[in-house]
Amino acid sequence: MNVLLLEPNYHNKYPPLGLMKISTFHKSRGDAVSFFKGTSTEYQKRFGNKRWNRIYISTLFTYQYNKSIEAINLAKKHTRNEKIYVGGVAATLLSDNYLKDVEINTIRGLLNAEGKIGLKGDSKIDKMIPDYSILDEIDYKYPTNNAYIGYTTRGCVNKCPFCAVPILEPKYCHYFNLKKYVKEIKRKYGEKKDLLLLDNNVLASERFEDIIKDIKDLGFERDAKTSNGKRKRYVDFNQGLDARKLNEKKAKLLSEIAIRPARIAFDHIELEAQYRNKVELMAKYGVLHLSNYLLYNFNDKPKDLYKRIKINIQLNEDFETKIFSFPMKFIPLNAKDRSFVGKYWTRKQLRAIQTILHATHGVVGPKREFNERAFGETVEEFETLLWMPEEYIMYREEHERSDARKWREQFENLSKQDKKILKEIIKNNEINISILKQKANSKVKKILKHYGILQKRAQTKIEDFSL
Ligand code: SF4
């Protein structure tokens, strides 16, 4: 059987674990497996008009829906519809859309039940060793390419409203034999430097102690190095650690492995006390490299994001931690693009955050001075910054002493009512002419002149740093 594994042509950090396991499964049956990620021209060059017995397509974020549709349309040219198997996160969450738009019945959830791809033994795919060799078939280089990638648990015990895990992996599994899994990868594909664990909530496991022991036994104890002694190894639970479940005992256990960074979630400002407490706990056990995603554009207000950034800066100073955080824009689970605007946000403010993050490369690092420059020294400064013309945010140095200063003066001099009108006019990140005509007085019209043609220069530069 000729099998093609196809990853949509989007940028992603981690190799497609599901496809790598499907490769192992098919190769164990004696099938010929190829892996492809790229443009249709590149596909044509490599495979021409070759026909496939099966094509598997992975999907990831729902907002990359269009990229996955491109991959499906490519697959349709080279096999029959019923031989196309589309799985992964977006395929699970948007299965109705795939059926309606491209007439594909997607595979929902994990490949851990009989019959999902209609072949004998397919229920074991999820627990199989990923085939790392397929990664050599493509030019694309995944930023994370020297790690054992796996799980020690599955699912999550919580049901947070913004999270897809309860749908994707509804059953919590407390333990998976990581030792056997990693040893087998090492035997087949050689030693990997790091250990990347995709657990959704490892701290909920009743067998957390066993998991830590397994990790240590595999050579990932604190300060561990690769077997040639040359490189430091790191363990990363990249989906984060549930602060609610972190206690003294678990913090101590975590400190016994080469964890870096420890990702402690700080999803909303109400968690401040708990979050501070848990960062302090990790610091007590010498785990100083910390990280988190700062979810925004959900039920939060812009100032809540700023406060969380400031809290991280302060914690770094208090406990000598190095917290790197990544503001992450909330997008509804079934959104097919990134255009969602939360109820306390506007498109203009979201755009401003993207512009700031462009300068910081998407990261909020531990340096106070740098962050205060990027996000403002006070919450008021931050809130004002979000209404500043994009050009001035983007090219701060260039405009600071001239146009941006004038803008700031004019903005500060607007009455409360005028500010409200200005915000109404620009909130969708474009000038609302009808509100302008109806409501703007001379002061508002004057400041609006800053939001002009110059915008274009900034707009073409900004990438979306939402993760
Ligand atoms: S704790 Fe984390 S993984 Fe579990 S449901 Fe909440 S966000 Fe998702």
Cβ of 436 less than 6 Å from ligand 1: no
Ligand 1 mutation pick, 153, 242, 333, max ligand atoms within 8 A of CB:
242
Q: How far is the CA of 242 from the centre of ligand 1 (A)?
A: 8
Torsion of CA 397, 402, 404, 408, to 10 degrees: 130
Cβ of 153 less than 6 Å from ligand 1: no
Which of ligand 1's atoms lies nearest the C-alpha of 265? 2
Cβ of 71 less than 6 Å from ligand 1: no
Is 70 exceeded by the pLDDT of residue 462? no
Q: How far is the CA of 426 from the centre of ligand 1 (A)?
A: 35
Which runs of E-coded beta strand occur in 138-250? 147-150, 194-197, 235-237
Which of ligand 1's atoms lies nearest the C-alpha of 156? 4
- pLDDT tens, residue by residue, 127-157: 999 999 999 999 999 999 899 999 999 999 9
Give the model's pLDDT for residue 318.
95
**Predicted ipTM > 0.95:** yes
Average pLDDT across the chain, whole number: 94
Task: Report, as an integer, the average pLDDT of 216-245.
Answer: 95
CB contact at 8 A, 101 and 65:
no
Which two structure tokens, joined as six digits, stand for 39? 């443009």
- CA-CA distances (angstroms) from residue 70 to 166, 167, 221, 336? 28, 25, 43, 14
d(CA 78, CA 43): 11
Positive or negative, the Cα torsion across 274, 279, 281, 282?
Answer: positive
Give the model's pLDDT for residue 448.
93
pLDDT band at 345 (very low <50, low <70, confident <90, very high): very high
The closest of 434, 410, 435, 409 to 423, measured between CA atoms, is 435
Give the model's pLDDT for residue 351.
96
Give the chain's radius of gyration (CA, Å).
Answer: 25
β-pairing, 289-296 with 262-263?
parallel
Cβ of 245 less than 6 Å from ligand 1: no
pLDDT band at 116 (very low <50, low <70, confident <90, very high): very high
Amino acid sitting at position 56: Y
Q: Which helix H or strand E contains 369, and what residues bound it? A: helix 368-375
Ligand 1 mutation pick, 93, 154, 158, max ligand atoms within 8 A of CB:
158
Cβ of 166 less than 6 Å from ligand 1: yes
Cβ of 163 less than 6 Å from ligand 1: yes
Q: How far is the CA of 91 from the centre of ligand 1 (A)?
A: 20
Locate CATH 3.40.50.280 in the chain. 2-127
Is 90 exceeded by the pLDDT of residue 72? yes
Q: How far is the CA of 163 from the centre of ligand 1 (A)?
A: 6
Is 50 exceeded by the pLDDT of residue 349? yes
Q: Which helix H or strand E contains 263, and what residues bound it? A: strand 262-263
Q: How far is the CA of 201 from the centre of ligand 1 (A)?
A: 7
Q: How far is the CA of 309 from the centre of ligand 1 (A)?
A: 21
The closest of 349, 353, 358, 327 to 428, measured between CA atoms, is 349
Ligand 1 mutation pick, 151, 163, 278, max ligand atoms within 8 A of CB:
163
Helix axes 248-255, 208-217, angle to 10 degrees: 10
CATH code of the domain occupying 2-127:
3.40.50.280
pLDDT band at 208 (very low <50, low <70, confident <90, very high): very high
Q: Which of 227-241, 253-267, 388-402 has the lowest mean pLDDT?
A: 388-402
Query: Which residue's CA is the closest to the ligand 1 atom numbered 6?
Result: 160
- Of the chain, the percentage scoring pLDDT greater than 90 comes to 89
Task: Report, as an integer, the average pLDDT of 437-447.
Answer: 94
pLDDT band at 24 (very low <50, low <70, confident <90, very high): very high
What DSSP state is assigned to residue 364? B
Locate CATH 3.30.750.210 in the chain. 146-260
Which of ligand 1's atoms lies nearest the C-alpha of 267? 7
Task: Report, as an integer, the average pLDDT of 350-362.
Answer: 93
Task: Report, as an integer, the average pLDDT of 238-245.
Answer: 93
Q: How far is the CA of 161 from the centre of ligand 1 (A)?
A: 9
Query: Which residue's CA is the closest to the ligand 1 atom numbered 8?
Result: 163
pLDDT band at 172 (very low <50, low <70, confident <90, very high): very high
Cβ of 201 less than 6 Å from ligand 1: yes
Give SS3 for 258.
coil
- pLDDT tens, residue by residue, 381-399: 999 999 999 999 988 888 8
Is 80 exceeded by the pLDDT of residue 460? no
- Of the chain, the percentage scoring pLDDT greater than 70 comes to 97
Q: How far is the CA of 228 from the centre of ligand 1 (A)?
A: 37
Q: How far is the CA of 165 from the centre of ligand 1 (A)?
A: 7
DSSP assignment of 74-132: HHHTTS-GGGEEEEEHHHHHTHHHHHHHH---PPPS-S-STTSSSSTTGGGGGGSPP-G
Q: What CATH topology corresponds to 146-260?
A: Transcription Regulator spoIIAA (3.30.750)
Give the model's pLDDT for residue 211.
98
Cβ of 170 less than 6 Å from ligand 1: no
